[in-house]
Amino acid sequence: MKTRELKIINQGLEDELEVWGYRPCLWKRILVGIGVVFTGGLLLLLLYWLPEWGVKGTCTHTSLRDAHTLLLRSTDEFKQWFRAKVHVMLAPGQRPFDRLDLPNRDGKHSMEEHHEVFADMQPVQIHYFTFHSTKYYWNDAIQNFEIYKGLEDLNVSCASVHSDHSSGLAKLVQNYRRLFFEANEIAVRVPSLFKLLMKEVLNPFYIFQLFSVILWCAEDYYYYAAAIVFMSVISIATSLYTLKKQYVMLHDMVAAHSVVRISVCRGNKDIEQAMSTELVPGDVIVIPANGMIMPCDATLVHGTCIVNEGMLTGESVPVTKTSLPSSGEDGDRTYNMEDHKRHTLFCGTHVIQTRFYTGELVKAVVVRTGFSTEKGQMVRSILYPKPTDFKLYRDAYLFLLCLVGIAGIGFIYNVVLSVMNKVPAPTIIIKSLDIITITVPAALPAAMTAGIVYAQRRLKRVGIFCISPQRINMCGQLNLVCFDKTGTLTEEGLDLWGIQRAEHGSFSPPEVDAAKQALVHTAFVGCMATCHSLTKIEGELSGDPLDLKMFSATGWILEEPTEEETALHNPIMPTVVRPLKQIAPEAKQNVPLTQNMSCEIGIVRQIPFSSALQRMSVVVRRLGEKHMDAYLKGAPEVVASLCTPNTIPQSFTETLEAYTKQGFRVIALAHRQLESKLSWHKVQHLSRDLLETNMEFLGLIIMQNKLKVETAGVLRNLQQANIRTVMVTGDNMLTAISVARDCGMVGPHERVIIADAVPPKDLHPACITWLYTENPVQTNRDSQAVDINLEEEEHDRYLPHHNQSYHFAVSGKAFAVIVKHFPQLVQKLVLRATVFARMAPDQKTQLVEVLQGVDYIVGMCGDGANDCGALKRAHSGISLSELEASVASPFTSSTPSISCVPNLIREGRAALVTSFCVFKFMALYSIIQYLSVTLLYSILSNLGDFQFLFIDIAIILIIAFTMSLNPAWKDLVWRRPPSSLISGPLLCSVLTQIMTCLIFQVLAFLLVRQQSWYEIWTPVSDACNVSSGTFSHNVTSPHDIKNIKNYENTTLFYVSSFQYLAIAIVFSKGKPFRQPSYRNWPFMLSCIGLYTFLLLIMLHPIPAIDSFLEIVCVPHDWRITLVIIVIVNAAVSFLLEILIVDIILWKLVFRDSDGVNQPPLSRSADTSQVSIDRWGSACLSWLFCQKNKTPRMQYMHLTLELQGDPNWPPRPSTVTHASTPQAHLCAPL
């Protein structure tokens, strides 16, 4: 495949694809057709399973422009192949936003007439293909396929949206654009049962089962074939039911509000009713006063809306959406949905109510439709999830290939043996193929799934719901969990601790009551009462919890205009706030003249909070005043940067640090008096940058965000279980560090190093300043200065001893700079970074990817508000919100607490260990049966149909499904279960048990032939009564044709049956990940029942059962011998598993494979025992080639590297420049 023919689509995005063009080749298709006929359709199946072979085998290379078929490959770690058919569409233009010379017609013409208009124009052929519900169109200019998302493709400015796109589209233009964007719907097609059935049964596993059933029927093994068919039908039916149910649920969720009747503008005045499916980007819709469910993504151009975005954010808090800026610097900026989300109404969100102008309607311009919308992208992520990349499943396929290889040896052995014994060719073929069906267990997938299903049910009982069951196993390997702070580690709501006003350039003493009458007329309380996004919904005040707490602390009330009041005023009736009780006349006399003003304030303009800018502002007017005022609220450091320096107290930094280090959430307020000549109209169009400048600093609001009761205990349990915990929050850095100390993420005596990075500026390169925080016990500046001087002396002595003594803390701004300018430091930094503050939602996702890049198995726990991307990207995302936004998260907890995390990990570990147990058991079952059959083939015998049936149904299925029922162990231990089947301990476990079973089967097989009573069995043989006389060897019976009944068969049947049970008990381990097997009563009852039954029929033969199982009678002495053999066999299996695997290999040789950090040995431990363990560990590690072996995981490798690096972590107050990796000392900060 030539690289020059390779094209990349969706470059730089998550769904980036490589694409090649192909056209049909006749001679290749003829050859494939012949191959399909000669292989009985198997070649067709192979080409269906391998799309790249299917395309290359039937097509030849061509350019993308001329391609009929495309071969696509994802560029992620999975490298998945897809094929797509190229279609051709006739349209009057090349692109959806091309200006066409369309005749003027009113909007009443039918679609047929519009198609006639298009037909009269010169048609253009447009090539396109559809992949994952997205259409890609050919672009001659870039010689590649591209996506048309919507209005953003035009790169229009905000002002241009108002001037060029706010009047609406003509019907003809709308129909033309719909050729490209199609109907505005998120169409989740529920596949028919037949289609789902075909997709399910064409799975390679079921094809193999079909092959096995046909083979067994050819051998007259009808009962066993029927049992396998019955199991397969049950499995397929269950799978189809689950899939159908999921599709229907998703369809119902999406379709509930996807089609509504709306008002669409056709020009400045014309408004017509239409269905939402007809909308295209550029349409202008009217938002009704009573609200609606948005059918598309649209940006507001007139009016204000109150929106509940719980569907997208997972946070059911009303958000105020204002109209897009139309002038100034803000108007000149290019419209972008992410940057202008405070002006954008997203598909699926609920517009609760609108604020409207007199005589004007609330209008919005459609930006995106269908699957291009935010909701459409979320649904696509559910419909087309990335495959679960887990080593267990990859190793399982490798292990099955090994079994196939073993089956190949048996195949050759049987062919050679049969030819030597002159067995007929059809019998040779059937018997040889039968070896393959025995070696690859048919019930393996069902048995493996059982453990996950049981774990899913147990999770449901504790309030954890799962939409991706395969990820439960991945939870068992989690070694790092990221936590959001607010609402996850801390309580959702904030309490007002107090306020601290600033007057004349200095702070006043802190005050608790902001509602006292002395403060009513102050600008500080005026800012608290107005600078928010609160609104009344059905008479109840609603909005952001922080705003609600702040406003309620003032004791003021909020009044919104009614529809009648709005109609009487021009141009708008503002929202008004005023104290609940007017100030008393005698109190007014004591108020200075400058403050003797009305308490009633009208909110003229609201500039919503921006997470990127970390602030919001309002323009207000007091009743009776001629001028307006601007109030600003936001992050203290941001607000201070917008204020005049003389209004900021000198102790601002010290005061802010004092509060944030105690874990308080601090918000700063500012005020500015606007010029009296500014009219209401001018204020509405004034740019944000001009408004929010030269402010007067008013002071601080101190909010208290308490830790949840269970937070510290849960984090302590995780750390004791050798699981790293990381905080990822949008809050202030020092507040986050304080919370990290309070909850135990950072120990009381551990250093926190802030990596403060700044981008390049004025020829100065980007640099990182390494700031060592002071001891949390010390709070005054003098002691801090002493501490900084001391830490330089202690650095070399204290930090390098153990990498447990320090943590990095990084802000979102610094993280962006480090990723861009210091890529060589990113992995080193995240290895010890515990606090990430001021992180934007996309940065949270990026952080998860970086952690995964150093081989961490990452969990993410958040409330869904800003964590949706990270929840989806993590190996295991756990949402504490049950709203619709969290539907894309693999796990959702009904309890809004992080106590769900250890529960999920415990169940994940139990499910993972169960998967290993079941896989090992099923593999040994196949090998044991393979050994039995191979030994019997040597005498041209085999197991009987009912023997197979008894083994596979009565023993294997019952045991496999009950051994998965062990619940999770009650505690999290420091050791994690293995993640790979191809590991030393597991392979050693399987191989030792295989050798044990082989030795005892061969021993029994050879011993029975050495017995004095042994002879070639015939229907008249009676070994139970050796004195009965001479046997006749010339008697034949129709039951004797297959040579099933013989002494070797009976002996191996008994021995192998007990081996299955012994292996099941040996592999079914309990602690430290699962409850002991004796608490799994279905498993114990099954084992006891089967042992009893087998001992009964072996020691006390029952003729009816012997006849059914085709067992022959053997002497009582031989039965006692068999009992001894099976007891010794079970004892050897048990000792080998416990002694070699659990003690020698796990505890001495492979004990460092799970991580670098192991639990420390107690100082009081027996020194001699420790030295013996170390000596034994060293010897065995050398024996198993584990000595000085490089760690597999990259984070472990980096940890070992950094432990030997004397320059890491960087020294206090040093600076690392982007131009050189060396650090340069600067003065202490």
Positions marked active-site: 484
CA atoms within a 13 Å half-sphere pointing along the CA-CB vector of 1209: 32
- Any bridge partners for residue 631, and if so which? 618, 671
- Give me the torsion for CA of 354, 357, 361, 364, rounded to 10°: -60
Q: Confirm if 883 and 316 have CB atoms less than 8 A apart.
A: yes
The amino acid sitting at 137 is Y
The SS3 of residue 407 is: helix
Question: What is the rounded end-to-end Cα distance, in angstroms, of the chain?
Answer: 58
Q: Confirm if 147 and 132 have CB atoms less than 8 A apart.
A: no
- The two tokens of residue 1043 are 């040579």
User: Please, where are the H alpha helices in 202-272?
Assistant: 204-218, 222-255
- The two tokens of residue 973 are 């231990």
How many CB atoms lie under 10 A from the CB of residue 939? 17
The amino acid sitting at 255 is A
Compute the distance between CA of residue 973 and CA of residue 362 in angstroms, rounded to an integer. Answer: 59
Q: Confirm if 843 and 818 have CB atoms less than 8 A apart.
A: no
φ, ψ of residue 557 to 5 degrees: the values are -125, 155
Distance of CA 102 to the CA centre of its chain: 48
Closest CA to 534 of 627, 608, 629, 470: 608
- The two tokens of residue 1011 are 């017995």
Compute the distance between CA of residue 842 and CA of residue 116 in angstroms, rounded to an integer. Answer: 47
Nearest-5° angle of CA 543, CA 548, CA 554? 145
How many CB atoms lie under 10 A from the CB of residue 97? 17
Q: Confirm if 259 and 295 have CB atoms less than 8 A apart.
A: yes
- Distance of CA 1164 to CAs 1107, 1168, 1170, 1196, Å? 65, 11, 11, 29
Compute the distance between CA of residue 287 and CA of residue 292 in angstroms, rounded to an integer. Answer: 7
Compute the distance between CA of residue 652 and CA of residue 658 in angstroms, rounded to an integer. Answer: 10
Closest CA to 448 of 906, 908, 964: 964
Compute the distance between CA of residue 289 and CA of residue 563 in angstroms, rounded to an integer. Answer: 9
Compute the distance between CA of residue 1031 and CA of residue 1019 in angstroms, rounded to an integer. Answer: 10
Question: In what side-by-side order are the strands of the sheet with 724-728?
Answer: 464-466, 891-893, 876-879, 858-862, 480-483, 724-728, 833-837, 806-811, 751-758, 767-772, 1214-1217, 1223-1225
Closest CA to 191 of 267, 255, 246: 246
Compute the distance between CA of residue 721 and CA of residue 874 in angstroms, rounded to an integer. Answer: 20
Closest CA to 853 of 826, 832, 883, 876: 826
Q: Kind and range of the H or E element at 2?
A: none
Q: Confirm if 15 and 147 have CB atoms less than 8 A apart.
A: no
CA atoms within a 13 Å half-sphere pointing along the CA-CB vector of 241: 6
Residues sharing a CB contact under 8 Å with residue 256, sequence separation 6 or more, in sequence order: none
Q: Kind and range of the H or E element at 698?
A: strand 696-704
Q: Exposure of 1043 by Cβ count < 10 A (0-12 exposed, 13-18 middle, 19+ buried)?
A: middle
Q: Confirm if 469 and 475 have CB atoms less than 8 A apart.
A: no
Closest CA to 407 of 431, 428, 435: 435
